[in-house]
Structure 1
């Protein structure tokens, strides 16, 4: 049997403590963080930040429009979550191009675009060059290239954004230590 180092034991203990905090202090710690169970961003806990203007690279909690949420629910991509965590890829005035080979933000490659989902069903196809309109942003999930995001449905209104978040403790962080 392999012996765990002291560092790994402490990190594991901290991990479980962070996971337990929301359940132990649910009443005393409202709206300080959110737990992400979706695959678009690393699983774990995110600290809720104060509201501020969006900029590329921000991570936001969004409520998708009903028709997009229903599509993800019907295909079994969500477990009923009414929110998504996505990265802000483009904001007002930015240009994005979607081709058969990928999505480009202001001329830089940002990820692949698939024709079908994991079950082989056709994905919505959006092609062309677009400029983000005032009051809108382009959500992407660069962490998971197969994520259902702006490369398939385009921009969303800023009103879809609920909160800005920052990773606190995620499974991706654990990969660094193990």
Structure 2
């Protein structure tokens, strides 16, 4: 190996170490990159939530490791990540909390009010059938999630999820919405 090749290899090694350190620091600081169309693409931050979750909170949440989520992972709806079950946290808006009535038909309504952009799909992008979750009251310590993105996989299909999976509020840092 020539001196020039050793120098180039050293520069590449230092650059790789700096990149790894930067990524590790960003993850430890609560920063995440969103590559899904459910919310704007780009850099987001998980902000600690020091109160009970409320309707209209945009949150990062780990989906529970249920059979439904395993199927969603197998279908490619969920990305790999650090949550239980090996999936990435979701960014979703809380549209109902414990005790609220959610009706699921052609669209979703909460306490009798239709949720904007909540029409249900009967098939996914690969023409596989999608089944809506049943209507009902959100159980204690659970939340009902939504994304206005038409192809979002959210509580319309998997139902309420434990509020204990909430990592914090989702705050846009540097994003791009096409």
TM-score w.r.t. the length of structure 2 is 0.74
**Aligned residue number for residue 25 of structure 1:** 22
Displacement of 1:50: 2.0
Distance 1:105 1:117 in 2: 24
Displacement of 1:139: 1.0
Displacement of 1:27: 5.0
- CA 154–122 in structure 1, closer or farther in 2 if over 3 Å, else same: same
State the number of aligned residues: 149
Displacement of 1:80: 2.2
Bigger Rg, which one = 2
Measured against aligned partners, the alpha-carbon deviations of 1:7-30 in whole angstroms (never above 9, x if no partner) come to: xxxxxxxxxxxxxxx877345553
Q: Is the 8 A contact 1:38 1:84 kept in 2?
A: no
Distance 1:162 1:137 in 2: 13
1:78 is aligned to 2:78: yes
SS of the residue 1:104 aligns to: strand
Q: Which runs of 5+ in 1 are unaligned?
A: 1-21
Displacement of 1:33: 2.1
Alpha-carbon RMSD across the aligned residues, in angstroms, is 2.1
**Aligned residue number for residue 8 of structure 1:** none
Q: Is the 8 A contact 1:38 1:78 kept in 2?
A: no
Q: Which runs of 5+ in 2 are unaligned?
A: 1-18, 82-86
Distance 1:62 1:73 in 2: 15
SS of the residue 1:25 aligns to: helix
Q: Is the 8 A contact 2:46 2:60 kept in 1?
A: no
- Residues 18-167 of structure 1: pairs in structure 2 closer than 5 A: 25-29=22-26, 30-51=28-49, 52-66=51-65, 67-81=67-81, 82=87, 83-99=89-105, 101-110=106-115, 111-128=118-135, 130-142=136-148, 144-167=149-172
Distance 2:24 2:73 in 1: 30
TM-score w.r.t. the length of structure 1 is 0.74
